Structure 1
Amino acid sequence: MHILLRSLVDDLRKQGHEVCTAVAGRAVRRAPARIVAELRLRPGDTALRLERVREFAGRPAVHQVSWIRRPVADRIRDRDFTAVSLYTALADAGVTVARASEVVRPGLLGPAAARHLHKPQGSPVLVSSRITYTLDATPVVSDHATILGSMMEIRTERAATGISLTWGATS
């Protein structure tokens, strides 16, 4: 039995929230320099760019762009990402993800995300940048999510044995 790494949407659903996903774009493209570096690709390599919008509490709340390295991307490219999480699709394709490294920072809403989230450009947001790694430490997904700070919050529980972090709706 494999334990799946959970995504933001998985965490929200586990907490009892309804989250809907719309796929805004999906294409194999030449990876930009930042993605080449994050996924340790060669310049000129292609990867699958998967763009999604997450609705939470009936409103668009998250604009997410994931880059998936090939050949893994070729095995999941045609999955229905409105119904299946990226991590589940990877597991179904035989890819075991071991860990992810994520940084969440405050930011301002850029023009592309503003169009998808129906908020004015420059609105305050949380920006999540995450790299997901396989068991052999190969980076397989580079993920960038723009999260409306007015709709989401991060909660932590700290103890001598470690830290627990969850996402939730703002109160």
Structure 2
Amino acid sequence: MIADDLSSKIRGGELSPGVALPPQKELSARYGVTLATLRQALQQLEDDGLLSQQPGRGTFVAEPRAAYRLDSLRGFAEDLRAQGHLVTTQILGQTVAQPPAWAAAHFGDADPAVRLERLRLLAGHPAVHQVSWIHGLELAETDLSGVSLYAALAEHGIAVHRAGEALRPGVLDQASATLLRQPLGTPAFHSERVTYGLDDRVLVADRATILGSMMEIRTEREVSGLSMQWVQLG
């Protein structure tokens, strides 16, 4: 009852991110429950990412966080929209150029490719800076501001078959900090994803910087489902 009521108010916008809840004694009296019952409900909401309990300060409505899922083959924006998040994309650049060595190594050649640089905003806040290198020139003139890259490839008869991705923790450098409007050194995830077509030809090689304070990595494991490998760095 308590958790459902507060959850409804948070998700419905009645309680905005950053708003402080009344003291626990006041809340327990309002709901007619013991402090122990109230605290159990508050903990459940914190586990769900809706509240933030800060010792000595109180309980606050949490800023929205999105899950970066590893068990789906979808574009970034598609994945977040499927979770109910408002995602917008700013195209920072779309040109034909020679790919850098790391991307050319995946493509197996140094032919010109489409360089697509995007800034992803989550609920209006910059969350991801992404640079994608697209093999071939089919999408050179395509407007990609309102469509996922995978969908655009499909429209050109290019089917996405699978993707491999490596994620590592890090911090924002000066360029990323400026784009994401965060202090230098803010925690972040660095992603490198390689997308393959039906013939196992590399279609896209991209790198992204994901703001750690707005995203969490989440996956589900099943006996015959997602396979994960832990690799020691350094």
The TM-score range, normalised by the shorter chain, is 0.7 to 0.9
Provide structure 1 residue ranges, at least 5 long, that are not aligned to the other structure. Answer: 166-171
Distance 2:73 2:131 in 1: 18
* AA at the equivalent of 1:23: I
Q: Structure 2 regions of 5+ residues with no counterpart?
A: 1-71, 229-234
Residue number in structure 2 paired with 1:66: 132
Bigger fraction of residues in helix: 2
Q: Which residue does 2:119 correspond to in 1?
A: 53
Match of 2:45 in 1: none
Which residue type is aligned with residue 123 of structure 2?
A: A
Counterpart CA distance in 2 for 1:111 and 1:47 is 27
2:85 to 17, 29, 39: 17
Q: Which residue of 2 aligns with 1:128?
A: 191
| Native 8 Å contact 1:106 1:124 kept in 2 | yes
Aligned to 2:222: 159
Higher normalized contact order (CA 8 Å, seq sep 6+, divided by chain length) = 1
State the 1:162 CA deviation: 2.2
Give the number of the structure whose alpha-carbon radius of gyration is greater. Answer: 2
The answer (yes or no) to whether the contact 1:156–1:164 under 8 Å persists in 2 is no
Q: CA deviation at 1:139?
A: 0.5
CA distance change for structure 1 residues 164 and 80 in 2, over 3 Å: closer, same or farther?
Answer: farther
Partner letter of residue 98 of structure 1?
H
- Which whole-Å deviations, capped at 9, do the CAs of 1:111-148 have from their partners, x for residues lacking one? 32222111122211011110000101101100111000
How far apart are the structure 1 equivalents of 2:89 and 2:133?
17
Indicate the SS of the match to 2:144.
coil
Q: Size of the alignment, in residue pairs?
A: 157
TM-score by length of 1: 0.85
Alpha-carbon RMSD: 1.8
Percent identity over the alignment?
A: 51
Alignment partner of 1:102 is 2:165: yes
Normalised TM-score (structure 2): 0.63
Corresponding residue for 1:40?
108
Q: Which amino acid aligns with 1:53?
A: L
Displacement over 3 Å in runs of 4+ = none
Aligned to 1:157, the other structure's residue is in SS state coil
Q: SS of the counterpart of 2:183?
A: coil
Question: What is the one-letter code of the residue matched to 1:65?
Answer: V
Higher strand proportion, which one?
1
